[in-house]
Amino acid sequence: MMPKIYSKYPMVKYLRKEALPTALCPGCGGGTVLNAFANAIDQLKIDPRDLVVVSGIGCSAWIASPYFLADTLHTTHGRAIAFATGVKVGLPDKYVVVISGDGDLASIGGNHLIHAARRNVDITVILVNNFIYGMTGGQVAPTTPFGAITTTTPYRNIEHPLKVAETVAAAGASYVARWTTAHVYQLIESIKKALMTKGFSLVEVISQCPVQFGRRNKMKEPAEMLRWFLKNSIPISKAKNMSEEELEGKFVVGEFVKRKRPEFVTELNKLIDEVQERFGLKEE
């Protein structure tokens, strides 16, 4: 029998108490992301019964499942956005949110990420970027910084990282923002805006992984990684006037795009109505 969890933490009402305490490593940024998401839901007064949260595979996928108390779908590796698209088409009145990591969404699931943004499917994606494959041993990822050490780049990484937020903005998303786990209040506000956006929205969260990434890159303590984030974060307004060389190793934070575009599910349902009317199939 599981012990009862007593807490003064106001967001505990959004958590599955039977899954606590979490299995996340000490110092992991996943708890901060979970807290920010719960606060956004609470401040918007969204009923969790109107919410479907989808995740893939990896440490960050655990933020949604098993910890968040709502209908959750824990899917196969890299396919969370594909599943979420199906949920949104079938249940267009629900808030559909994907929470997963960079290895899941930007690597194995990168194709789904780009094309869901292009289609402008009305789902919110919270992509937790800790620069590494954390759960499987600390291997290099498409988001690993140039020069960083991982288990599969023991001397240094010679690849430049994928710019996730910029790529998704260029693909056609309606709302894109990036913050770090050291920017909690800004993160909450961007998650709220993403949830209220009609169309594809992405919030990229630069998050610390002190166990797999930090200790191999001279940042063994979580606080060291948070200080690293703050020291190297550049507001997007300032970054626009900086060269690529000046931005090397920096984290550009803020809102990248906020616009209105035709939304996929709305257009799909319009098309269905048009075809049914054309062939006399529409029910009276």
pTM: 0.95
The distance between the two most distant Cα atoms of the chain, rounded to a whole number of Å, is: 68
Work out the average pLDDT over 243-272.
97
Work out the average pLDDT over 141-162.
97
Position 172 confidence tier, pLDDT thresholds 50, 70, 90: very high
> Is the confidence at residue 226, as pLDDT, over 90?
yes
Is residue 126 within 8 A of residue 191, CB to CB? The reply is yes
> Is the confidence at residue 7, as pLDDT, over 80?
no
Residue 175: burial class (beta carbons within 10 Å; 0-12, 13-18, 19+): buried
> Is the confidence at residue 26, as pLDDT, over 80?
yes
Position 282 confidence tier, pLDDT thresholds 50, 70, 90: confident
What mean pLDDT, rounded, does the chain reach? 95
> Is the confidence at residue 1, as pLDDT, over 60?
no
> Is the confidence at residue 108, as pLDDT, over 80?
yes
Q: Strand 132-133 relative to strand 139-140: parallel, antiparallel, unpaired?
A: antiparallel
Q: 96: left (phi > 0), else alpha (psi -120 to 50), else beta? A: beta
pLDDT score at 283? 75
**Cα–Cα–Cα angle for 258, 29, 8, rounded to 5 degrees:** 100
Distance separating the N- and C-terminal Cα atoms of the chain = 54
Work out the average pLDDT over 218-229.
96
pLDDT score at 8? 84
> Is the confidence at residue 5, as pLDDT, over 60?
no
Q: Which domains does the chain have, with CATH numbers?
A: 24-237+244-279 (3.40.50.970)
**What is the arrangement of strands in the sheet containing 124-129, beginning at the earlier edge strand?**
71-74, 51-55, 95-101, 124-129, 201-206, 175-180, 251-258, 233-235
Work out the average pLDDT over 36-43.
98
Work out the average pLDDT over 186-212.
98
